[in-house]
Structure 1
Amino acid sequence: MSTATLPGEGSVSVRLWLDGGAEGMTIRRAEVAARRPRAVAALVGRRAEEAARLAPLLFSLCGSAQGLAVARACEAALGLDAGAHDAARSLLTDVEALDSHGWQALVEWPARLGAPPRPAALRELRSAVSAVLPALYPAKDGLRPGGGTLRPDSAALREALDRMGVWLEAMVFAGPPPRDADELVRWAARGGTDAALLAARLLSPGLAGWGACGGPLLGERSPGWFAAALAGDPGFASAPRCNGAPALTGPLERQADHPLVVSVTERFGDGLARLFAARLADLVELPRRMEAAIATLQPADPVAAAPANSAPGEGCGVAETARGRLAHWLRLDGDGRLADARMVAPTDWNFAADGPLARGLTGAVVRDRDDAVERVRLLVAMLDPCVACGIDVHE
């Protein structure tokens, strides 16, 4: 039995059964079980504003997205229209996603190469990221139900965005990012960064098409769809389905039509190369999305109270994270406290028992037990690197 563990939030256990001999082995069966602490239960009994404030503290990753999804769910339940804050709030979650991708590029990706991590090199990125919230909401209250006092400082925001762009170009791409499969191959061959070195490994003939997850991309973004699913089935969070089937969420879902991803898919097919190209495309597109959002920002005040004819009810909030789509559903009682709360996270989709990870492993070919463990590590890193992963291999 071989076991490996990755740092992060929650955990996933993978059990593999191999068949074969000296010429190679096939993963006959792959069992995947995700275990995520159901911290959402701690929100029950809280008032709406307290729940939104507590959510980022309950989850060690994607705190802004967690807080935003809960705030949006509370707003829906209370009948509050905080649409004037949408662009600013999405900017906050995009910045958080860029920070998460940056961590992966300098900590997780070197680990997959057997190289030392470089967390100190994240300081400049995180300094720029930390400047965004106060440049939007001087009181740092943008994630409260109804929104905060939005007073965008466009100059400070653009300066922070410029610093992020300089960091990305230097630390991840060592120049302009690749735009198609040919440029990706040349960029990888130069090996100017850990990201390029990992690309060279993942583009190798034995790995580029390995771990093809198949199946549909999630696609659904509507809070109404997630509300119906979460409210109608308490088990949905642990075994989510879209149109009756498991689905993939994350960078590939967002960037499936990006020119780089399309070109890599045409050349290398589904598998590790495609998943990695999607992460690179996300790194390229996030600053562009942020720049567009900054251009639309206008001052806005909090929405202080619900309409007089509304009563506490239930609602759902959806937010994007680097790892994929997150949804929180909640129901308020007559006193405005959470009577029930449920969530579905990217881990629940990508590491479902019959989800993308399980599909990518079943039937895949490996050289031996150690090779199987390392390939699982790579596929987990491309799908959701923020969970601990225990791997057991049986012959």
Structure 2
Amino acid sequence: MSAATLPGEGSVSVRLWLDDGTIRRAEVATRRPRAVTALVGRKGDEAVQLAPLLFSLCGSAQGLAVARACEAALGIDATPHETARALLTDAEALDSHGWQAVVEWPARLGTPPRPAALRDLRAAVSAVMPALYPAKDGMRPGGGVLRPDRAALREALARLAGWLETTVFAGPPPRDADDLAHWAAGGGSDAARLAARLLSPDLAGWGGCGTSLLIERSPLRYAAALSGDPSFAATPRYKDAAALTGPLERQADHPLVVSVTERFGDGLARLFAARLADLAELPRRMEAAVADLRTAEPAAAATSGPGEGCGVAETARGRLAHWLRLDGDGRLADARMVAPTDWNFAADGPLARGLAGAVVRDRDDAVERARLLVAMLDPCVACGIEVHE
């Protein structure tokens, strides 16, 4: 199984066919109950409150994407709240990455997970919302009453950065491929030990998919795709092809990722370097955001009539988009979404392409390598793997 998911929320199934040390065929199927349909019939405020409860992971990003979709439909300008909102989703992304670092990554090393290590991280993450919105109303359409407490925010950021430095990096983050190799050899953390494994000659370039990066961020583009084709939510396409979203897409130009790519090409080492870069950049980006914060009031709707809109939000796993249509009473008449798992675990997406044609030693090796690639792409649902010879 992959990340922490609640039963019944869906799954990814991977079926591999081996022949003479090669994965001749890889089938990836995603079963994701469309919980978004539970939003239909709700008022906008209700839908925003319900969205985080429907999805066990990335609740803030889910609520924010729905809030932004409502704002687009109602003509609400919530621009003064965007810096604060970015802080909230960045904090959530750090929490998600942190879970991987102390639970999923140890599992890939065959060592016990350490969920207790998340206590300090989650305490710091939970301090961000009240330090921005004392009434904890920042995710409502139009935003809440934004009253930044910079002292509290900087204290939370110091705790977040300290947790990363101690628990994940055991020192400063690696800056390039040489630094990464030196850091990995030191074995000071689970992340470093996993890096040492992924930098081995037989794994570093394994699992390369050659899939385009999903650089599209415009809500209008996602609105056109989701509203125009109901099947887009289940089988999304970017420029008529599969695409990859997540840390690699965000950090493709980061010096660490560029250096690792030049040395090892596309594959597990590159994907892991991108995750490390994403982790290292989050506190820096959040610190810059704190400096830009200003007080703000809730924004009012320009219309109460029917309308439609799309909201986009970033998660640790990649880009999330919600589209909705409001009726004359301001209730959701239709709702659709496309999540990172829909992109990365599509039938012809990055996972399937990275597995097909890959060389393995035997059945057990195929399963473990596939699990490593799944962990790097990080689905938001459980993943099962079958091997046929």
Q: Name which of 298, 302, 323 aligns with 1:307.
A: 302
Is it true that 1:150 corresponds to 2:146 in the alignment? yes
* Aligned counterparts of 2:113 and 2:49: Cα–Cα separation in 1: 32
Q: Is the 8 A contact 2:97 2:316 kept in 1?
A: yes
CA contact (8 A) 2:2 2:378 kept: no
CA distance in 2, matches of 1:188, 1:359: 28
The separation in 2 between residues aligned to 1:389 and 1:300, in whole angstroms, is 42
Contact 2:3–2:378 (CA<8 Å) still a contact in 1?
no
Deviations 1:65-105 (A, max 9, x none): 00000000000001111111000001100000000000100
Tell me the secondary structure at the aligned position of residue 299 of structure 2: coil
1:381 to 364, 371, 375: 375
Letter in 1 for 2:208: A
Amino acid at match of 2:14: V
Structure 2 distance, partners of 1:303, 1:176, is: 41
CA distance in 2, matches of 1:243, 1:34: 21
- Rounded Cα–Cα distance in structure 2 between residues aligned with 1:372 and 1:386: 22
Counterpart of 2:337? 343
Counterpart residue number, 2:285: 289
1:303 Cα shift?
Answer: 1.2
Counterpart-to-counterpart distance in 1, 2:226 and 2:89:
22
TM-superposed CA distance for 1:5, in Å, is 6.6
Q: 1:169 aligns with which of 150, 165, 169?
A: 165
Letter paired with 1:17 = W
Residues 51 and 66, structure 2, Cα contact 8 Å, conserved in 1:
yes
3-state SS of the aligned residue for 1:235? helix
Residue of structure 2 in register with 1:139 after alignment: 135
Describe the shift of the 1:215–1:385 C-alpha distance in structure 2 as closer, same or farther (beyond 3 A): closer
CA distance in 2, matches of 1:212, 1:349: 16
SS at match of 1:236: helix
Q: 1:180 aligns with which of 176, 183, 191?
A: 176
1:11-50 equivalence runs, <5 A: 11-20=11-20, 25-50=21-46
The 1-side partners of 2:46 and 2:110 are apart by: 43
**Residue type of the alignment partner of 2:384:** G
2:186 corresponds to which of 185, 190, 195: 190
Task: Answer yes or no: is the 8 Å Cα contact 1:17–1:393 preserved in 2.
Answer: yes
TM-aligned CA deviation for residue 386 of structure 1? 3.4
Distance in 1 (alpha carbons) for counterparts of 2:154 and 2:86: 16
Contact 1:108 1:385 in 2 (8 A): no
Question: Aligned-pair distance for 1:36?
Answer: 1.4
Structure 1 residue ranges, 4+ long, deviating more than 2 angstroms after superposition: 4-10
Secondary structure at the aligned position of 1:100 is classed as: helix
Separation in 1, partners of 2:4, 2:356: 24
Q: Which segments of 5 or more consecutive residues in structure 2 lack a partner in the other structure? A: none
2:246 and 2:367 mapped to 1: Cα distance? 23
Unaligned runs of 5+ in 1: none
Root mean square deviation, CA, Å: 1.0
Distance 2:336 2:373 in 1: 28
> Identity over aligned residues, as a percent?
82
What one-letter code is carried by the residue in structure 2 that aligns with 1:66? Q
Instruction: Kindly indicate whether the alpha-carbon contact (under 8 Å) linking 2:345 and 2:379 is maintained by their aligned counterparts in 1.
Output: no
Other structure's SS at 2:319 match: strand
Q: Which amino acid aligns with 2:65?
A: A
